[in-house]
A and B are shown apart, each in its own frame.
Chain A
Amino acid sequence: MGQFIGHMGGFFILAAAVMIAGMFFWDSGLVKDKRSVAAAGKTALLAAACGMVYYFLMTYMRNIFGGQTNFFDFGKIFTFFGADKLLNLYQTPSFKESVSGLNMPLFIYAVHFIGGAVFEQYAGTAMFLNFLAAAGGSVCISQIARDVLGDKAADQTVFAILALPFAFALFIPACFGIVFGLTACAAYALYKKRTVLYVILTIAAILTSKLGLLALLLLIPAKVPGLSDLARKLQNSRFFKNPYCCLGALLLILTINGFVIMLTMGGAI
């Protein structure tokens, strides 16, 4: 419980710092479109809140299945997907191990240096950076969806992504959230025709994890005409117009997600 309170305290003050940094751009007039900033803030908050819900669920499930940890001890839930090994790697990084599996060295070394600077809080740093990246990535995706499909679709798109099975992995102190964030930012850069930025973000994503190669796939919709028309058609289809169908689909996704969390925390996956 003490650890939980401590981490929550650290997390909220950092979240406040991020918010204040954002408010600087607002106050100084560097950001002019206040409406889209407010929408982006809402999306970021939704993503962060979603991450918190996942943490509670994961800890609860872990407690039910293994009894290995008390309800509020977040630290001990990272014993799946080799996340515990990753936590050791942040503390004492080795280049050889940092390129094994899906890992690549950029994020591991970044956490090593930043975590070392903030009183050796490696797991906390990795977790916070993932939250930040997941929130940032969600904002980028919602901006694209807002431009292409409208305000309502923007929120739905983000919610659908965050409700997907395994979406909890975006918030754990591994590299998934960072890759998602960098890839989503790369997509936004490409959408805004900032090619150089896209290249930089893609390289950063690849250096973070081998999953970052997926950022190259973003070039496909950019090169294939009519994909946004297809998305619009899908949105206007009968299925998505029917609230019962939408609710059913959402419940199905959430149920599958719940099972995934249950099985992962139970050690079956």
Chain B
Amino acid sequence: MENSAVQKFSAERLKNISGENKGAIKVFFAAIISRLVLFVLAFAGLRLLGNSRLLSEIFPQSGDVPHYLYLAEHWYASSGEKANLLVFYPFFPICIAFFRLFFRSYIISAIIISYLSFGIAAAYFYKLLKLDYDDEKTAYGLVGLFAAVFGVFFISAHTESLFLMLTAMALYYIRKKNWLATGIIGFCAALTKTQGVLLFLPAVYEILVDAIREKKFCKKSLFTLLVPLGFLCYLLLNYIYGGSFFKFVEYEAAAPWYNTSKWIADGLATSYATGISHFVLSLFIYWPQIIMYFIAVAAIFLGAKNKVRTSYLVFTGAYVGATYFHGWMLSGGRYLSSLLTLYVIYASIENKLVKNIILLIEAVLCITYAVLWMQGQAIM
């Protein structure tokens, strides 16, 4: 009797797992279609506005893309004018170089990585949401991600999609307590973006809470130390190519980035002051990054109210704080668009009307900024 119950339970569980995987595959394709739709809409918008820029002008030349492509082709340099490219993390260029073996073009490889990563990110995000929420909330979370305000960076050759994928995977494996997978993925994330190392925090939070609750420390959780190790590897790269572990700080402070670490209040005040004196730029850069900052911080409180898992809030807070520790920031909106946990908080909202209004605003801004980005405006 007991045996048959166990068998029934196992069969049901297997069915659930396979159902979940089927759902994840559907989400993967839906995510890629959503990117294609965004691309078509943005391109159509560009042509409707009478702009005749070619795709070969748009994609390889926007923002930091040429730098990533250069690194994929030539790697870091110890001296010369390209030595300052040490400020870019190596994992994305490594992936581009690897995909280039199959696709013969650096830019096409980079874009394929972006599309594929976004699809995988969405699939893992679906699995992550399913751990806590019903179908409807899961769907809202996913659509919220698809309509991300600066979602155009998920179709261009930037690190955003790759980082989003690594975040979704890391958070999922943290929840599943698969510490080895968390460590490896976190290691890659720490080599993708500055914020990648912050994935260590939700892992530590979950480990500490478990250890205190169960009065037992899981030795396998030490694998999560791979996450800070990824950042240490990046520092080592700095030492090898720049002669100092923190050479990137020096390069970032100089032209053309002028980025120094400053307390959030100073960074926001500078953004505001620059926004006031540069009206057009403020619409693309400064107002979105100031508004999105306050939305993100408010989302932390909302998440706490809606009982979103605290480790997600830890990641959100650390990510927002670290991102805005800048003296002169230009890409705050882009960085916050790839903060996955914001979409979890969005999914947790109970009021459908509020959710739909947010979604509508997001979608309109997403398409608008995508068209403007294709136009070559300062969407960074």
Chain A residues in the interface with B (C-beta under 8 A): 1-3, 5-10, 12-13, 16-17, 19-20, 23-24, 27-30, 118-119, 121, 124
Contacts and interface: CB of A to CB of B under 8 A. Distances in A.
Nearest to B294: A9
Contacts of B264: 6, 9-10, 13
A17 B317 contact: yes
A44 to B, nearest CB: 13
Contact of B208 (A3, A20, A28, A124): A28
A9 B313 contact: no
A16 B317 contact: yes
Given A12-B297, A29-B213, A7 B304 contact: no
Name the residue in A2, A8, A28, A124 with the highest tally of chain B Cβ atoms < 10 Å from its Cβ. Answer: A2
B281 to A, nearest CB: 15
B335 to A, nearest CB: 15
A124 B314 contact: no
Closest 7 CB pairs of A and B: A6-B269, A2-B272, A6-B265, A10-B265, A119-B263, A28-B212, A6-B268
Interface in B57-98: none
Interface in B304-322: 304, 310, 313-314, 317, 320-321
Contacts of A16: 297, 300-301, 313, 317
A1 B273 CA distance: 9
A28 B268 contact: no
Given A5-B268, A13-B297, A20-B300, A121 B263 contact: yes
B34 to A, nearest CB: 31
A29 B268 CA distance: 37
Contacts of A8: 294
Contacts of A10: 263-265, 268
A26 to B, nearest CB: 8
A12 B294 contact: yes
B206 to A, nearest CB: 9
Nearest to B309: A27
A9 B209 contact: no
Interface in B257-284: 261-273, 276
B310 A24 contact: yes
Which of A10, A13, A28 is most buried by chain B, counting CB atoms within 10 A of its CB?
Answer: A13
A30 B212 contact: yes
A28 B317 CA distance: 19
A192 B217 CA distance: 33
Given A23-B304, A28-B209, A29-B212, A6 B317 contact: no
A19 B304 contact: yes
A249 B205 CA distance: 47
Contacts of A19: 300-301, 304
Q: Chain A CB within 10 Å — which of B205, B262, B268, B321 has the most?
A: B268
B369 interface: no
A163 B304 CA distance: 29
A5 B272 contact: yes
Nearest to B272: A2
A9 B265 contact: yes
Contacts of B269: 2-3, 5-6
A27 B265 contact: no
Contacts of A30: 212
A52 to B, nearest CB: 14
Contacts of B262: 119
Contacts of B265: 3, 6-7, 9-10, 121, 124
Contact of B272 (A6, A28, A124): A6
A119 B265 CA distance: 10
Given A3-B265, A12-B294, A24-B209, 20 more contacts: A2-B273, A2-B276, A5-B272, A6-B264, A9-B265, A9-B290, A9-B293, A9-B294, A12-B297, A13-B321, A16-B301, A17-B317, A19-B300, A23-B304, A23-B313, A24-B208, A28-B209, A28-B213, A124-B263, A124-B265
Contact of A13 (B212, B266, B290, B317): B317
Given A2-B276, A23-B310, A28-B212, A9 B304 contact: no
B150 interface: no
A124 B208 CA distance: 31
B126 interface: no
Nearest to A120: B263
Contacts of A29: 212-213
Interface string B216-228: 0000000000000
Given A5-B290, A20-B313, A29-B213, A118 B272 contact: no
| Among B213, B262, B300, B324: residue with most chain A CB under 10 A | B300
Nearest to B210: A28
A168 to B, nearest CB: 21
Contacts of A2: 268-273, 276
Nearest to A115: B263
Interface in B165-222: 205, 208-209, 212-213
Nearest to B290: A5
Contacts of B297: 9, 12-13, 16
Interface string B285-299: 000001001100110
A74 to B, nearest CB: 11
A105 to B, nearest CB: 25
11 contacts: A6-B265, A7-B265, A9-B297, A10-B268, A12-B297, A17-B321, A20-B313, A24-B205, A29-B212, A119-B261, A121-B265
Nearest to B296: A13
A28 B211 CA distance: 8
